[in-house]
Amino acid sequence: GRNCCVVIFAVTRPIRRRTKAKKKHWFSSDVVRAHHLILFALHCCFSDRINPASAPASSSISSMNPLGFLTLLALVAAGFAAAPPTTQRTVSSHLTAQDQDRFAKVFAEGLKSSDLQSLYYSSANVALPAGDVVSTCKRLFTLHAESKLNDFEKNFYLIGARKNFGCKEALPAKVETSVKTALAKDATTTQEIYYNLHSAKLAGLAVDEKVRTALGKNLQSVLKKDDSLNSLGHAFAVAVELGPAGAFAYDRIEEAFVQADEVDGRMLQFEGGLSITALIVNGGFKLATGLSKPAPVTAEQAVKFATYFLSRASVQTPKGVSVLLEALKLLASQKPIAPISVRLAGNGQLLPESPVLSVRVCDLLGKPLSPALAALSTTIVSRTSGEALVSKVNLVPSKDDATLYSYNLKSAAPSRGQYRVDVEAAPSYRQQLQVSVLGKVRVNSLEVGVGDTDSAASSVKRHTVAHPSKLATLLNADSQQKVLLKTVLVDDASGKPITVHQAFVMLRNQETHQEIIFVAETDSSKAYKFEMDVGARAADFGHKSGLYEVRLIVGDALLSNSFQWHLADVELKFAVSETKPSTVDAASASRKPLPEIVHQFRAPEKRPPRFVSDLFTALCIAPLVILFGLWMKLGVNVKNFPLSLGAVGFHLGLGAILVLFGIFWLRLNMFETIRYLIPLALITFICGNRMLRKIARGSGSEK
């Protein structure tokens, strides 16, 4: 009834306003909430139909059955009580000192460039050395005269760069007149209006209220014809300068921003890349600020735009760097929605002797926050057990670096492993980081020995070696024996056995430096074992007997003291019958370049003897010879040959076809033969048809 319609309208109205865009974008949480609320509305609409016997005449929510009412409350609660996001108004990167140095180099190269656009954007961001002003200004005017850009665009770059460089040369009268004339007439694009208006502003030309009003009307008419992202972005920038005459453009901001594409759920950008995205964001924010209107995006969208801009910090052109810096500065200045950077200061690995967590907090440009955060707390949770190591402890700001906060975890005695770090500055900022607490590994025991192949491992005599010493006794093993090794690795802090990502036993030939590496396997007690049958593994060594170093390699991402230990030497002797020098040669040859493969066409098939070919040719010609011979013997009667065009053409065509077959046999291919045969066959067919019709008419008249 009416209540149902009211509920549906109430829950869908704010959703319709956000989803009227042309593309999917922005909020996954809003979509979930919308689904829950629509379910709520549908339940209200059809509750009477589902159970009509129990429903009174009224269709109000209060008349619903208790179970249905509780269901609706649960749906509403699920729609609004979303889990707190892992990040809130924070990004994980910012512009670093290395980025700023690289930007300075890009602008320095731009000042030497022969491109008018690069000169302008470089001049807007870095100062020109005093000694280069005169020569650079001369080059600027020369480049303007030679430029093939549109007049309004190259005039803008000339006027802007001339002002930034402080050139003493007067602005050419032709350029000034061109700007004035362009402002007085209607433009066809928003770009033209943008460049002309800003050229007049930079040149110090007066733009009165009448001109502003005319430009506003011109801008509205142009937008009706072209409302692309590029056109809207320039329109926002123009509207900022027009004041009240450009206030209409604010109503088009939402139309532009809803066209943003979401990338991986983390970034927002516009089709066209960095330039278009920066143009729309800069123009939209400036217009909203100039009109004292709310920001055109929410805090969550600002985070996604900031993430996109920071991902483009590797841009290499003066224009790209300039618009990137402008966009980041503008976003950082929007205090109510500006995101901040919260990231680890370092590689995220905490050493066991000094487990100090360091977090860097700054704005998007890498500068300290102003005002500084009142407090920054963290909760650290083990990713393995899910237990909290510390909860809601305050990070201590550094006295030397205003962007650095730290906390010493020594008192919490963190064990080796990976931890989730939840950083929060109530009530606006939240970030989730990950750190690894490194540990130290210690070799608790290691035994190495040599025994017969068929003997049990427990009966083999073993030598105990203490890390990092080397066994003084030289081990000897032949093809009838095996080499065994067993070691227990423990955590240095707890003394408990541990497993590592990498545990290898390497045998290295002292003469050739050839290395053969085997994987050490763990048993049920977490002890690492290695067993090698010398005879069975002879091929791995190339059957090369000699002195080999036995090394233990231990490595792990969570270890601060990974090591390679030379623990013993062993003399390996392979049986003489098993020695295969060719195997070593083949192994080394396999690593050399293969011989060049030269393409060879298939050899032609063997032709028959000349006698057979001549005999076959004679047999083919024999019927024709016999025919002419019989004609000569019997006599050929040519008196009745009709001397008509059809008869002559038919016989000539037939003869030409026979000649063509002969030429095909000698030199032509099939396609060339068909090309000549088609017209000959057509002529022969027409002539033969006429000849037969004439013969038929003659036979009929004789009867």
Give the tens place of pLDDT for each residue, 321-366: 999 999 999 999 998 899 999 999 988 999 988 899 999 999 999 9
Q: Is the pLDDT of residue 184 over 90?
A: no
CATH number of the domain where residue 117 is located: 1.50.10.20
How does pLDDT run across 36-64, given as a tens digit for each residue? 444 444 444 444 444 444 444 434 444 44
Count: domains in the chain: 4
User: What does the buried/exposed string (b/e) look like for 308-323 if buried means 16 or more CB atoms within 10 Å of the residue's CB?
Assistant: bbbebbebebbbbbbb
* Rounded mean pLDDT, 576-589: 52
Whether 292 is covered by a domain: the verdict is yes
Token digits of residue 64: 């619903």
How does pLDDT run across 430-482, given as a tens digit for each residue? 999 999 999 999 999 999 999 998 888 778 889 999 999 999 999 999 989 99
Whether 256 is covered by a domain: the verdict is yes
Same-domain status, 304 and 350:
no
* Rounded mean pLDDT, 501-506: 95
How many other C-beta atoms are found inside a 10 Å radius of the C-beta of residue 495? 9
Q: What is the 3-state secondary structure (H, E, C) of 127-138?
A: CCCHHHHHHHHH
End-of-domain residue from the set 333, 366, 383: 333
Q: What is the pLDDT of residue 499?
A: 93
Q: Is the pLDDT of residue 19 over 60?
A: no
In sequence order, which residues have a C-beta less than 8 Å from that of residue 647 and are 6 or more positions away?
A: 641, 687, 691, 694
How does pLDDT run across 248-279, given as a tens digit for each residue? 999 999 989 999 999 988 999 999 899 999 99
Same-domain status, 452 and 425:
no
Same-domain status, 200 and 324:
yes
Q: What is the pLDDT of residue 586?
A: 54
Q: What is the pLDDT of residue 309?
A: 95
Same-domain status, 399 and 473:
no
* Rounded mean pLDDT, 488-504: 93
Whether 245 is covered by a domain: the verdict is yes
How does pLDDT run across 387-421, given as a tens digit for each residue? 999 999 999 999 999 999 999 999 888 989 999 99
Same-domain status, 549 and 674:
no
Q: What is the pLDDT of residue 585?
A: 54
Range of the domain at 376: 340-437
- Could you tell me if 454 and 503 are in contact, meaning their C-beta atoms sit under 8 angstroms apart? no
CA 312 – CA 32 distance, rounded (Å): 31
Same-domain status, 430 and 474:
no
End-of-domain residue from the set 418, 437, 456: 437
Whether 110 is covered by a domain: the verdict is yes
- Global pTM value: 0.69
CATH number of the domain where residue 513 is located: 2.60.40
Same-domain status, 481 and 383:
no
CA distances from 193 to 96, 152, 153, 220, 457 (A): 36, 9, 10, 11, 89
* Rounded mean pLDDT, 181-210: 90
Whether 482 is covered by a domain: the verdict is yes
Q: Is the pLDDT of residue 126 over 70?
A: yes
Chain mean pLDDT for the chain: 84
**Proportion of the chain above pLDDT 70, given as a percent:** 84
Q: Which residue has the higher pLDDT, 291 or 86?
A: 291
140-148 contact pairs (CB < 8 A, 24+): 140/116, 140/165, 140/167, 141/169, 141/172, 143/114, 143/115, 143/116, 143/119, 144/116, 144/175, 147/116
Q: What is the pLDDT of residue 596?
A: 85
Same-domain status, 170 and 317:
yes
Give the amino acid at 481. Answer: Q
CA 492 – CA 496 distance, rounded (Å): 8
CATH number of the domain where residue 430 is located: 2.60.40.1930
* Rounded mean pLDDT, 614-623: 89
Q: Is the pLDDT of residue 501 over 90?
A: yes
Q: Is the pLDDT of residue 76 over 50?
A: no
Whether 428 is covered by a domain: the verdict is yes
Same-domain status, 261 and 125:
yes
pLDDT band at 608 (very low <50, low <70, confident <90, very high): confident
Q: Is the pLDDT of residue 14 over 50?
A: no
Same-domain status, 572 and 465:
yes
* Rounded mean pLDDT, 497-513: 94
CA 601 – CA 604 distance, rounded (Å): 9
Instruction: Of 282, 209, 283, 220, give the one whose Cα is nearest residue 242.
Output: 209
Give the amino acid at 668. Answer: L
End-of-domain residue from the set 308, 333, 358: 333
Same-domain status, 499 and 365:
no
Whether 537 is covered by a domain: the verdict is yes
Q: What is the pLDDT of residue 183?
A: 87
* Rounded mean pLDDT, 120-144: 90
Same-domain status, 273 and 186:
yes
Whether 603 is covered by a domain: the verdict is no
Helix H or strand E encompassing 670: helix 670-702
- Could you tell me if 249 and 212 are in contact, meaning their C-beta atoms sit under 8 angstroms apart? no
pLDDT band at 26 (very low <50, low <70, confident <90, very high): very low
